[in-house]
Each structure stands twice: as C-alpha cells, then as structure tokens.
Structure 1
Amino acid sequence: MFFQKIKPFLYLGIFYLSISLLLRITFIFHPITTADFSILEVVKIVFTGIVNDIFVFILTCPFLALYFLFLSNSKYQKPYGYIILGSLCAFFLYILLIPNNIFKQYGGSVAEIAMIFIGLKIIVFSLMLFLPEKRVKIRNSMYFITIFLYVLLIIFNTVSEYFFYNEFGLRYNFIAVDYLIYTNEVIGNIMESYPVVPLFLAIFSLAVICTIYIYKKTKTELLTLPNIKQKIILLGSFCILVAISLFGLHFTTKLKSHNVFEEEIQANGLPKFYWAFTHNELDYFQFYPQINQQVAENVFLSQFTPPELKRTIQPEKSELKKNVVLISIESLSADFMAHYGNTQKVTPFLDSLADRSLMFTNLYATGNRTVRGLEALTLCIPPTAGESIIKRENNKNKFTTGSVFKSKDYTVKFLYGGYSYFDNMKDFYEGNGYEIVDRNNFKPDEISFANVWGVADEDMAKKAIQTMNAEAKSGKPFFNHWMTVSNHRPFTYPKGKIDIPGDAKSREGGVKYTDYSLRKFFEMAKKQKWYSNTVFVIVADHCASSAGDTELPMDKYKIPAMIFSEGFIQSQKFTQTMSQIDLMPTLFGLLNFNYQTKFLGQNVFSREFQPKAYVATYEDLGLINDKHLTIISPLKKIKQYALTQQKNNLSPEFNLYYDEKYLKSNLQNKKLIEQTISAYQSTSFWLKKNQLNR
C-alpha cells in the first residue's frame, strides 16, 4: 500500500533525476567547460550531483504532497461541502472587496494571483460538490494538470540552466536573481536572442508526452484514496525526508574543489539560486578571514602618501580644465583586439586609436558584471563581497569620480542608451550628483534602431555629441560617462553598417558594430570646437565571459583601456599590472588636479604606485600581485596560485594567458595573504562606517 501511494513521487523523481543527469553530462562536454576530468572526477561529479538532485527533488515536493493530503470524498458530504464552499466564497469576496486585505498589503500582483487561485478553487470544488457522478473524471483531470505543471517546470528549469551555463559557464547565481527582477529586459533579451516559439513548443510538447506517460502509470492511485491513518504516515515520512534533505544539502552544497567547473557541474541550480536570492550582500566580517582592523588599515594605506584614507593630491604643475569623456564599453574582452592576438579584425578603429593613445596593456576588470565596472570607474575602490554598491540601498553621497569633477565646476552626466533604471544605475548616479541622459531623452526620430537593451550605439553617439555641444555652449567644462549597450546578447544592430549582418546575432558582430559606432562618434567629435580640449578615456566594463578552470581565471578579467587626446596625450604603452580602479586617479594625475581624495586606486605614474589588480566574483575576492593570485572566500577560506605566463607569439604585456599553479598552505606567500585581507577588510569596514562618503 505504501509503495502504491508514493508511485507519483517515484515516477516524477526518476524523471527529474534522469533529466538532471543528462544536463550534467551535457555540461561536462560543453565547449565552455575548458577543464579536463579524469574518470574518477567524472564519477565524483555524477555521484555528488545525483545526491544533490535527490535532496532538491524532495524539497520541491510539498505542493504535490499537500495535493494528496487534501484528496478526500468526505469533504463533499453534507454539511461539510457547503461550509467549505461558503468559506471559499467568503474568502474570495474578502480579497475582492476589502481595500486593505492582507494580500494587498504585500503590493504588486499578490492579491490578483490569490483571487485567481481561490476563484479556480471555487469552480473546481463546486463541480465536484454538485456533480458527484463526474467527481472521478474531474479529479483525474486535476491530477493530470498537477503532474503536467511539475513536469513542465522541471523541463523549463533544465532548459533555463542550460542557457545560463551556455552564457556564463556557471549554475544560477546573483545574475539569475537579477533576471527575475528585471523581467522586461530579460524577457525581451530572450525573445530577441533565441527561437522562442519553436523552443517553447518543444518544451510544451515534451512536457505533455512525459505527463501522459506518468499519468497512465500512476492514475490508479486516485481510485482508492488514503484514509486518515495512511495520510499521517505519508505526511510523517515526507517531513522526515525533508529534514534529511535540508541537513544533507547543508553539507553537499559546501563541497569545494580546486576546479570551478567541477563545483558548478556537480551542484544543483536551485539551491544556488536560493542562496544568491538570500545573500545579496555578504557581510565580510562574518564570512571572510580577518586580521586586526588597525593592522589591516595600516598595511593597506601604506601604499599611499600620506598613509591615510583622506588625502590631498597636490601636483607641482597647474591644473588643466579639459573636458573628459569616459566611454565604458560593454563586454569588450582584451582578446577581441588585434593587439592581444585577435585575427578577426573586429576592432579596427579601437586598434588604430590604441596606437595613438596612452594604452594600458595589463589592466584587469574588478568583476564580471557591468555594475562592477561602473563601480570601479566611479568609486575607484576594490570590489566588495556580494552585490555591487550600485545595487545596494546605501549607495548615495559617495566620494566619486563625478564629485571630483563637480568640485572643479564641471557639468557631470551619465549617458546610457537603455533605460537607466536597469541595474539601479539611475538611482545610483542621480544619488551621487550625476545628470542622466538615457533612452527616455530620445525623440522617436532620433532612434534608427533599438533592441531590448536600448538604442543602437550609433544613435547614442549622435545623442552624446548633441549633449556635449549643449554643454560646451555653457562655458563650463564637462565630464560625460557613456556606457555602451550594443555588444550584448542578442547582438542585434542596424543592417548594412558592417560586414556582419545585423540579424546574425553574433558576438563578433556586436563588438564590430560598437567599434564602428565609436569611429562615427570620433568622426563627429573631431568637427566640434570642444574636441581639441577634450580627453577621451576608453575602457571595457568587463570581459565577455567569466568561465574558467579556477575561481578567478585571469584571462577572463583582462580588458583594454586607453586615454586619447590629440596634442596632449603622447602615444605610449603602460605595461605594469594595474586595476580598473586605478584608471581615473591616473587621469586626474595627467590633468594635474589638486583635490582631496578617498579613492583607493592609484595614479600609476605616481612614485608610490604598486603594481597590482583586484579581481572578484560575488563570493571570491582576489588580488593579483608579485606573480601570485591570492583569493579569499566565504567560510574564511584562503587560496593562492603562483602565476607563470604562457609562451606565445605576442609581447609579454599583451599575453592574456597564465598558468595558475595552486599552492599548498605551507608554500603560500603570507605577506601577500595579509595584503589581500587588508585591502578587502579595510574597504568593507570603511563602507560599513560610511567613511567613503563625500
């Protein structure tokens, strides 16, 4: 009897484990998985993965368990049936008519969803109450729908995990949480990037086929409903299994490996999604290794003169009040440029501009999201654990690049081709004194092409010229920070602009079109009176991909950056290791700005500059320094890798690739570990105490 009653769970569980195993094997052989696994490693991945999947499936079964728990014929007998129906109707009217009911207090569509659910429940209950001869058929139909929804969600989640891994080389993380929040952009991106109709038809068809099979194998269980004793036994068994699963996942989700791909593939996406949803911001002092706070600050501040958080920069030469245009380019990995060995000729303009610029050949992005790049360029501080400061509540009145320019009486603007509410950019930049120019500022005739992310970069270039011309007429110098959008999936852009079709949805096409748009921008800018008195800073926000064999693969963080200004900046190459947070302090040094600073980046041409770079994910915080990569992680973990540059035909400063050799604890450089902890601990402490505010 017990086996008979759990048959639906068994069939659904086998289906879930089978499709999860297929997905895991697909990940092992996916092109983005650059790791090579031994047979024993594959066995470990598969076994650990199956255990994770079993635990997760049990934890996703409460709704199905409740469905069986409430199956009963006695509830339709008089007077219980009428009492229940009356209660449901009263509940429906409560949601419909009471203005401040409990559901409406939650805001959003919660009340509407609750009303639809109760309304459907009333309809089904009424049919089964007043049509007892149809009760079995109605119950079978509802059972079929319930199984179908489970199967559909399993298949849909599997497909979603595949596309997420295909994009990021990871299971679900904070980005997936963002995708639920910014549904308009995300749904639009999916609609424009993939063949949605055939894909959804395939998912729906497969779900129907699998549901029919499971339904036929298990529908006989509805002929004899469990009595109260059997329900108590089933409920008790289920509660025990849930407790075991929660306890088990507590351990299996913490299994770590030296290979990131192994960790990701053996994991299950749903627990990772839940963890990301509940850990938007990680408390450094709870999760990461620490040293004495005063010691940490002394070690970190020793790189500055004077060794203090708030310092005064006093150049010997006079200040230069030049206009500044900072262009942060979406997903421009260094390896897209010919300088770094690319042979596809997708950045001809940027390559030519680099030859006439101050080019930083060994610069690393702080993270792998746009908000991380914007944070690094705007706040000039190392990344902190969890979500970017841009997306946190306490993100206003910070000491920023813009506040330095405003202190010099500059006009300060942030330009973005999309809607700047995305990723909380509008809230952050307006809260820090920037004016916003985004898609809301475009007239219909100013848009020649747009996709879900915003207007084409070429249209934004024209708007930027228009904005800068207006600013120049005011007589005040201007600082404009332009964030591009076209080099982003779905990689669509106007046809006939470059030799890669605009509907090819090719990343190389997206890169080349952005390069084309920048050429057009500079052609237009060169005709303006303000051009000769303007400095252009061009840098990527992050790389196109972050997947690699280690937590922080260095080639996935190296980005191009250059400063260009005709008649002012001499062409040269700066080859020392530097961070994205060093770029704007270096610019201020070139302009001889006299200012008080709280920036934690350095002018790379100053005497005290120490070559290094900060790189991070949401959890792992790294420091590249002295041919080592030191990483600190939650649970106070510390890893260190020795870096050896791989041989190739490029000059060393353009070589992207390093061998990262894991060092055991007794071989680790303790001084570099102290420097890593000092940097991230101090930054987190100052942010917590609002000491990095203006």
Structure 2
Amino acid sequence: MSFKLFPSRFALLKAFIVLFLLLSFLVRLSFLVWNFSEVDKSFFILANTFFIGFLFDLATVSFFAIPFLMYLLVIPKKFHGSIFDKIAVYFGFSLSVFILYFSFFGEITFWDEFQRRYNFIAVDYLVYTYEVVKNINESYPLPILISAMLALVLSSIFIVNKLGFFKKTFSSETLFKTKLIASMPWLIIVLLSVFLFTNKQADFSENRYNNELAKSGIYSFFAAFRNNELPYNEFYKIIPEKEAFQTVKTSLKDAKTTFENPNENSIFRTIINSDSVQNPIKPNVIFICIESLSGNFLKVFGNEDNITPTLDSLANNSLFFDNLYATGTRTVRGMEAITLSIPPTPGRSIVKRKQNQGLFTIGEVFKQQGYKRNFFYGGDGYFDNMNTFFGGNGFNIIDRGRGFLLDKSITTTRTNIEDNEVTFENAWGVCDMDIYNKVLKEADKAYANETPFFDFVMTTSNHKPYTYPEGVIDIPSGTGRNGAVKYTDYAIGEFIKKAKQKPWYKNTVFVIMSDHCASSAGRWELDVNNYHIPALIFNSPNIQTEKVNTLASQIDVFPTLFSVLNWDYTSNFFGKNILTMQPEDERAFIGNYRKLGYLKDNKVLVLDEQKNSHFYLWNPLDNSQKLIPTDKDFEHRSISFYQVADGLYRNGKLKIKE
C-alpha cells in the first residue's frame, strides 16, 4: 500500500491547508509591500523571511488540521457522505474558513496600528471587547468588511466545491489504516511545534520588520497568550543580587539621600530637599498624561505642520524637558513608569498584574503632604485594569463607567462622568475637552473645601479612530492622526484658558507629559526615536523658564517636581531629579514587553528573554544603530536596574511600609 499524504477522504483538508498557506503568503507579501522601505531586502534575508514564515504557517495550520483529522478518523467508512457527515463537514469547513479570514483581517488592522504580528496586546484586548469592537467599528467600515469577509467565505466554499473536493471527501472509500498513516505527519508537526519550535526563533534578523514578517499571526497570538509573564531572573541575564543592588544604590545616592537600611537589598530612602532657605510649597498639581504624543509632533522638535501651537508655546514658557524618553509603547506602561518611577518590567505592565495594590506610588508622596488624589479617565477605567490599579493605590476614580465594579477589597470614591457632561464620545471615551471640564468642576469643589489636590488626568482623543467634535479645529474629525494631535493640543489650550479664570490657578502647577509615542515600530530591536516624548512643568512659582537637554526618563519627572517643590519625602523610586543630574548619571530606560533597553551616551544595550544582550551605537541624526562589541560595565549597569526593579516587585518590596 503506497503512502498518500492526502487520501481521498482528506481532500477537503488538503483544500483548507492550501487555502491557509496561500492566504498567509499573501498577507506576508502585503506587509512586505506595506513597509518595503523598512525591510532588509537582501536576497538571503528576504528568502529566509519567507522560508521561516512558511514553516510557521505550516506549524499553525497543523493545529487547525488536528480536530478535522480526529473527526475523519473516528467516522467509519460506511458513514462517509451520510447526512450527518455532510452537515458536520460543511459546518466545520465553513466555520474554519470564516475564522481564517477573520484572523487575517484582524492581522491587517493590528499591523496598521502596531506594525507587528499579534502579540500580548492582542491577548489583552480579548478582555476589553466593548472598547476594541467599538474602536474597530469607528475606525473601519465594518459592515463593508464583514460583507466582504462573508463573500470571501462563500466564494471559497463555492470554488472548493466546484473543484470537487467535497465530492471526493464524501464519496471516499479510504480505510481507517490509510487515514491513520496519513494523519501521522500532521501529528508530528504539532508535537514539534509544541516542544521544539518557539516564536522567538523567527527573530533571525537584526531588522525587526523581517522578523515580524517571518512570523505567523495566529501562532504569535497563542505564543503571547502563553508567555505574558516573564520573571526577569528566569529569562534574562543576571548578576549577583548584591552587586546589582550596589550598582543601583550608587546611582541613586547623592548629598540629599539617606538609605534607610544601607546594608540591605533595598532602595527605600529619605530625600531631603528643604533647608532654611528653601521651604516646602504645596500648590495643587494637575498632571495631564497625553495619549500617544510623540515628540516629533511638536514644532519645537522640527514638525512643520503647526499642529501643536499650545504645547509649542508652553515649551517656551515652562521647565521643558527636550531629551526625555518613555519607558514603553502602551498607556499602562507609561502609567507604571510615572506612578511607580520604575524601569519597565518584562511581560505585562504592573498596572495589569494582580499584585498591584498598596504600592509605593507618587500618590503616596502626595498623601504624605496632605493632598487629595484623583484619577480622571474619559472612558471606563475598567479598561486595562486602570481603576483597580489607581483605586487600589489610594486614588479616587472619576471615569465614564458602564457599571463594572472595582475589586471588592478596594475602598475608594468613584464618580461618574454623567451624560449631561458629555458633548462628544467615541470608542475610547469622552473627548478631551469634556474630561478637562470635569477636572475643572472637581478642582472647584476641592478649592471650596480648602483641600490641596493632585489630579492624574488620562486623555483619549489622540487615538484611532481620531474623532473629536467637529468645527473646533480646521482639520475634519476622523481624517487622521494630525487632526487628533491638533485637537488634543487645542483642548489643552482651552483648558488652561479656563483654569486661568479660577481662583485656584495661581496656586496650581501643571505637569504635561505623553504616555508613549504614537508608533513603536521601527527596523531595530528597540527604535530609540520612537520613545522620545515631550514633558514640561508649567506655572510653578519657584522655577525659571528653561529647556533642559539632560538625557532622562519618564520615571524622573515626578522626583524632579518633588525637588522643585522642596519636599522632604521617603522614596522607593528609581527616578532622580533631572535638574541636578551629573553627566555620568544621564540615562533612559526603553522597552517593550520582551526587550529591555538602557540608553546612555548614544549607546543602547538591549536585553532579551533568551538571556542575550546586544550593544548598539545609536546615531540620533538618522536613527541608525550599529552593532558593536559589548561594554561589560555598560551591560552590568543595564542588568542591575532591570534585575532590581523586577525583583523588588516580585518580592513585595514595592509595597508601602506599614
């Protein structure tokens, strides 16, 4: 008996596998054309991209094949072509083809947003179907896409039927033994995929785009589902713990700092900023965290579209940090960096994790100074676990809730943004002007009660679908990123105008900073330019207008503010006062959920979860990176910060001391 990979009973399976491989190839080819200027186009690299891609596609389709193979094996020959068989096969094939088209359509929208295959972000989005589906509906012509998808499914079924694959499957006389032998290769591929293949093996090139093209979206999705927790000590390069802590503590030590337990593996310390001349001041503080505001949107950084006149004006009339970098590529990563003043930890942001309450945050410093702390969000703070994180760390919640409850162990005030306070709303929440109007109302109440307040305000308008109220700016709503940026800037300007009319304005400091850039994509492991963000401190009574060129991180902004306010406080933060940083102390932390970067002196060291480190010379003029021999001292310093940060979190040492 001769071996056949696809005996007649497997005819429909053959059709599905060919369809999957063909569509996957076309998607990969489309992404190549889409980002052709960014891809390494050398023959060997490009050939490897498609060859590795084919192997991952084969692995992916083998998982699809197994359920159908099981069915084909267990149904005896005498039932081939029966009514039951036809119903089951037609239904199973139709559903599989629909899932196939749906996943590929989803990949295209995901690539449009992130220039990546599915990753942990896609996994997280499964939890927040309301926001995600609404966003897709507002960003794309969903009825047309669904109609097109259904048309493609029906067309595929028609063609497969026309080519006789259904007829062969139903009229087959294939014996069980033949079917069993034909099933073995697919079972072997599945076992190899589970035990030997990993998604990391697609990262064969220095060019990130080629690596992403080599992957299979569905395979990447399930790989991310399995690997969203990455304990640093298990996956990354490590050094002796004592050495790591000593390196970090040395970098944090200065004349104003006293470590509470200098001989322990801890960074908890007291910082003294006041003296007989510099007395503490306690103005209200409003922090505006701007969604996806890349530095290159501002005129001050070379943009010529004039879409940020308010921020450009503020840059010239504030303490403006023009060499500052975000730690990550998502809002929750920015929140983690800002509130905890910590380098990025691998895997999920701490905001999304279970052990994220009762931590020592910037809110705790404000609490020590007698402030009321509020978190404002224009959408439902259930999204991305924001309410649990902020509520569990002492903030009152003001959001556009739809009824989702906080963790029952959290006792905090939650205030809803009511319908009569909303003039415009999209998938992500109310427009920025509406959230600022709510901030003004709550500030008026706090002022009337003579309570100093710290407001953490998270905006949403600078996000796809880029919609906002019509007629307020000269770019029509929903037409693209430039319009969203210009509206975001306009809303900040209107907010400050209104705030200036308030009695509390003269005693209020405004801090404005982006959560992350609009795009994290790039050809490098970590594209440095795509972490550059603006940040400023405005209206503080005891600082001069200044543009600060010190290389610094998102985690340094609030420690700098506390210094400006002359506050004495205890700290568990990794951030430092930017204004007193010495050249040897300048650095920035950048990363995504897998790769962790340490930037200093135009060099960046990247750590990955395969215990590798890659050292690059970065050219800021053209954003190019050149691989150079690793500097062991540089590597040691990089490892120290990330190892200590993740270790403190996992050992519960970021908690507030009782």
TM-score, scaled relative to structure 2: 0.91
Alignment partner, residue 295 of structure 1: 243
Which structure's CA Rg is the greater one? 1
CA-CA distance at 1:74 after TM superposition = 6.0
Cα distance in 2 for partners of 1:215, 1:341 equals 58
Q: How does 1:244-393 map to 2 (within 5 A)?
A: 244-247=192-195, 249-250=197-198, 253=201, 255-305=203-253, 306=258, 309-315=267-273, 316=275, 317-393=278-354
How far off is 1:167 after superposition?
1.0
Q: Distance in 2 between matches of 1:619 and 1:67?
A: 38
Alignment pair present for 1:624 and 2:585: no
- CA change 1:627–1:607 in 2 (3 A) is closer
Q: Alpha-carbon deviation of 1:459? A: 0.7
Alignment of 1:152 onto 2:152: no
Distance in structure 2 (CA, Å) of the matches to 1:592 and 1:247: 57
Mapped to 2, the partners of 1:203 and 1:31 lie a distance apart of 24
- 2 CA distance for matches of 1:679 and 1:258? 25
Letter in 1 for 2:597: G
Specify the alignment match of 2:21 in structure 1.
17
- Alignment-derived partner of residue 519 in structure 2: 545
Match of 2:467 in 1: 492
Equivalent residue number for residue 396 of structure 1? 357
SS at match of 1:415: strand
Return the match for 1:530 from 504, 508, 528.
Answer: 504
- Superposition TM-score, scaled by structure 1 size: 0.87
Q: Which amino acid aligns with 1:486?
A: S
Alignment of 1:664-683 (within 5 A): 667-683=629-645
Structure 1 residues 579, 6: CA separation in 2 closer, same or farther (over 3 Å shift)?
A: same
Please show how residues 440-459 of structure 1 align to structure 2 within 5 Å: 440=401, 441-459=416-434
Per-residue deviation, residues 669-692 of structure 1 (Å, max 9, x unmatched): 111100000000111111111111
Cα drift, residue 448 of structure 1: 0.6
Alignment equivalent of 1:556, drawn from 510, 527, 530: 530
1:479 corresponds to: 454
> Is residue 2:483 matched to residue 1:509?
yes
1:64 CA displacement: 1.3
Aligned residues: CA RMSD: 1.9
The secondary structure found in structure 1 opposite 2:590 is: strand
* Change over 3 Å in CA distance of 1:645–1:202 after alignment to 2: same
Contact 1:33/1:548 (<8 A) preserved: no
Among 71, 81, 105, the alignment partner of 1:67 is 71
Q: Which amino acid aligns with 2:62?
A: I
**Contact 1:147/1:215 (8 A) holds in 2:** no
Cα shift at 1:7 = 2.0
**2 CA distance for matches of 1:238 and 1:192?**
41
User: Deviation at 1:36?
Assistant: 3.7
Give, in whole Å, the separation in 2 of the partners of 1:632 and 1:49. 25
Counterpart secondary structure, 1:412: strand
Measured after TM superposition, the shift of residue 247 of structure 1 is 4.8
In the alignment, what sits opposite 1:229?
A: 177
- Provide the C-alpha distance between the structure 1 equivalents of 2:578 and 2:139, rounded to a whole number of angstroms: 40
Secondary structure, aligned partner of 1:47: helix
- Return the letter of the residue paired with 2:23: I
- Compute the displacement of 1:137 (Å): 5.1
Q: Distance in 2 between matches of 1:394 and 1:496?
A: 45
| Cα distance in 1 for residues equivalent to 2:574 and 2:495 | 32
Deviation at 1:242, TM superposition (A): 2.5
Aligned residue identity for 2:165: T
Relative to structure 1, is the Cα distance of residues 252 and 325 closer, same or farther in structure 2, using a 3 angstrom cutoff?
closer
> Is 2:150 aligned against 1:199?
no
Match of 2:411 in 1: none
The question of whether the paired residues in 1 share the 8 Å contact of 2:596 and 2:607 is answered with yes
Describe the shift of the 1:253–1:659 C-alpha distance in structure 2 as closer, same or farther (beyond 3 A). closer
Q: What is the identity, as a one-letter code, of the residue corresponding to 2:286? A: V
Structure 1 stretch displaced more, 227-236 or 177-186 = 227-236
Aligned residue identity for 1:516: Y
- Measured after TM superposition, the shift of residue 178 of structure 1 is 1.3
User: What is the CA distance between 1:252 and its match in structure 2?
Assistant: 7.4
Matches of 2:238 and 2:87, distance apart in 1: 59
Aligned to 2:165: 218
CA contact (8 A) 2:199 2:220 kept: no
Q: Secondary structure at the match of 1:331?
A: coil
Which shows bigger deviation, 379-388 or 206-215? 206-215
User: Given that residues 32 and 166 in structure 1 are in contact (C-alpha distance below 8 angstroms), is that contact kept between their aligned partners in structure 2?
Assistant: no
Deviations 1:501-538 (A, max 9, x none): 1243x111111111111111101100011100111000
Relative to structure 1, the CA distance from residue 496 to residue 251 in structure 2 (aligned partners, 3 Å threshold; closer, same or farther) is: closer
Kindly state the Cα deviation for residue 251 of structure 1 after the two structures are TM-superposed.
8.1
Following superposition of structure 1 onto structure 2, how do residues 627-666 of structure 1 map, counting pairs within 5 Å?
627-646=602-621, 657-663=622-628
- Whether the 8 Å contact between 1:395 and 1:428 is mirrored in structure 2 is yes
In 1: Cα distance, 2:396 partner to 2:199 partner:
48
Partner of 2:31: 27
Larger CA deviation: 299-308 vs 609-618: 299-308
Q: Which residue does the alignment assign to 2:126?
A: 180
Match of 2:409 in 1: none
- Counterpart amino acid of residue 572 in structure 2: K
User: Is the 1:323–1:479 Cα contact (8 Å) retained in structure 2?
Assistant: yes
- Residues 270-327 of structure 1: per-residue CA shift (max 9 Å, x gap): 2221121122220111100011100011011101224651111112221001111110
Q: Tell whether the 8 Å contact from 2:399 to 2:417 is kept in structure 1 after alignment.
A: yes
Deviations 1:521-579 (A, max 9, x none): 10110001110011100000000000001111011000000100064432110001000
Letter in 1 for 2:636: E
| Structure 1 residue 450 displacement after superposition | 0.4
1:579 is matched with 553
Decide whether aligned partners of structure 1 residues 255 and 324 sit closer, same or farther in structure 2, where only a CA change above 3 A counts.
closer
Q: Does the 8 Å CA contact 2:602/2:620 hold for their aligned counterparts?
A: no
CA distance in 2, matches of 1:457, 1:225: 66
Where do residues 681-692 of structure 1 align in structure 2 (5 Å cutoff)?
A: 681-692=643-654
Secondary structure of 2:324's aligned partner: strand
Matched, 1:54 2:12: no
C-alpha distance 367-607 of structure 1, shift in aligned 2 (>3 A) = closer
Contact 2:8 2:172 in 1 (8 A): no
2:563 is the alignment partner of 1:589: yes
Aligned residue in 2 for 1:114:
none
Q: Look up the match of 2:407.
A: none
Structure-2 change in CA distance of 1:225 and 1:241 (3 Å)? farther
2: distance between equivalents of 1:513 and 1:240?
A: 55
In the aligned structure 2, how far is the partner of 1:380 from the partner of 1:245? 39
- Residue 585 to residue 437, structure 1, CA distance change in 2 (3 Å): same
Q: Distance in 1 between matches of 2:229 and 2:200?
A: 23
Aligned equivalent of 2:384: 423
Gaps of 5+ in 2: 402-415
For residue 462 of structure 2, give the secondary structure of its aligned residue in structure 1: coil
Q: Structure 1 stretches of 5 or more lacking a match?
A: 77-134, 647-656
Distance 1:253 1:15 in 2: 25
Counterparts in 2 of 1:277 and 1:250: CA distance versus 1, 3 Å? closer
| Residue pair 1:622, 1:630 contacting (<8 A) in 2 also | yes
Percent of paired sites with the same residue: 37
Please give the alpha-carbon distance, in whole angstroms, between the structure 2 residues aligned to 1:604 and 1:597: 16
Letter aligned with residue 544 of structure 1? A
